[in-house]
Amino acid sequence: MKGKESVEYAAKIRAIEYDISKSLARIDDLNRLLDEKSFAHKNKETALIDAETELHKLRSQQTSYQKELDHLRALDERYRQENTDIQRRIDQENVRNTELSRLISDNEGKIRVREEQIMQLRKELESSRYNNSSLLDSNANLQAEIDALNNHIRVL
């Protein structure tokens, strides 16, 4: 009986040793799996840290871009206001230019009238000079006649 019991216990011990070796193999497999998972976890933590660093950089870059965008919008608004002011001044200058062009045209018309008057006065002056010259010649001829008649009167 004890022999049989011993054989049974030996079989149980072998079964338990087999279960223990199976469990040890499973523990080794699980340890290997745990190591793989730990390695993967560390890689993912590293990737997460890298991603967080990149996220921080991107957020600071976004903040920088937002500030630059706000600055550019302010510049845009200022330039639009300057353009509006310049356009208003251009419009005023165009009105003034039109008025000055009209004044120039009026003055050119007055100048043409004055030039025509000057030309007419020059013609009259030339005519008067010619008449004066003619009258001086006539006067000289008459004076010569008077002198000749006075001389003739003395002779008589």
Hey, what are 51's tokens? Answer: 């991603």
pTM of this structure: 0.46
Hey, what are 100's tokens? Answer: 């000055």
Per-residue exposure over 28-50, b if at least 16 CB sit within 10 Å of its own CB, e if not? eeeeeeeeeeeeeeeeeeeeeee
Quote the pLDDT of residue 1: 85
Q: How many domains does the chain have?
A: 1
Q: Is residue 135 part of a domain?
A: no
Provide the domain limits for residue 13.
1-120
Q: Is residue 115 part of a domain?
A: yes
Q: Is residue 130 part of a domain?
A: no
DSSP single-letter state for residue 107: H
Rounded (5°) CA angle 143-146-150:
140
Residue with tokens 């006065």: 121
Span between the terminal Cα atoms of the chain, in Å? 217
Q: What is the pLDDT of residues 9-34, one digit of tens each?
A: 999 999 999 999 999 999 999 999 99
Q: Is residue 41 part of a domain?
A: yes
Q: Is residue 132 part of a domain?
A: no
pLDDT greater than 90 at residue 3: no
Q: Is residue 35 part of a domain?
A: yes
Q: Is residue 79 part of a domain?
A: yes
Confidence at 125, pLDDT banded by 50, 70, 90:
very high
Quote the pLDDT of residue 138: 95
Q: Is residue 27 part of a domain?
A: yes
